[in-house]
Amino acid sequence: MSQAGRLVLGEDDIRRSLTRISFQIIERNKGVSQVVLMGIRTRGVELASRISQQIAQHADLVPVGVLDTTGFRDDRPADRNPGATTAPEGGIDGKTVVLIDDVLYTGRTVRAALDALGELGRPQSVQLAVLVDRGHRELPIRADFVGKNLPTSRTEFIDIKLKVTDGEDGVYIASSKR
């Protein structure tokens, strides 16, 4: 067992999940001409980039932006250092924005992301794609596209590792947060 916990998704599993999400985005939106992806910092940005690359193999290139939710959180200190938010080329006004994140848990990150999007413009609609949905929602938020549902207890922790940030691709379940 890794120091990160028990491996539940390996590199191939993550690749297949992102490929499936990419095709679902194309299908649900009847193409991607009006779609933009917004990766939620930190790992959502890398996942959005990978999904964009997957979509580009079968349809048009989808612009990717970066969304930092730090200043919009209601469950964490406001004195944290926010990162940069960058709108995708062409902006988000009138577009279908697909928010991309690594783990959907309480829903508070997504709520903050919706507030942050309002500062960038007015999308036609917003969809949500996550690599892992672990349950335990505190807000009425549901993902449109899910790589893997991993029901967990509140004492467990999902640890996502991506090559760009961590040197490996893997999803781990640990019995408690490090």
- Is 127 part of any domain? yes
- Is 96 part of any domain? yes
CATH number of 127's domain: 3.40.50.2020
Structural domain boundaries, residue 49: 12-73+84-151
Q: What would the two tokens of residue 43 be?
A: 């790992």
- Is 6 part of any domain? no
Summarize pLDDT for 84-126 with one digit per residue, the tens.
Answer: 899 998 999 999 999 999 999 999 999 999 999 999 999 999 9
- Is 176 part of any domain? no
- Is 66 part of any domain? yes
Q: Is 11 helix (H, G, I), strand (E, B) or coil?
A: helix
Summarize pLDDT for 28-49 with one digit per residue, the tens.
Answer: 999 999 999 999 998 999 999 9
pLDDT category of residue 1 using cuts at 50, 70 and 90: very low
Distance CA 33, CA 79 (A): 38
Closest by alpha carbon to 161, among 171, 153, 152? 171
CB neighbourhood size of 99 (10 A): 26
Mind giving me the DSSP string for 39-108? EETTHHHHHHHHHHHHHHTTSPPPPEEEE--GGG-SSS-TTS-----BPPTT-STTSEEEEEEEEESSSH
Percent of the chain scored above 90 by pLDDT?
A: 85
Total tally of structural domains belonging to the chain: 1
pLDDT number for residue 84: 81
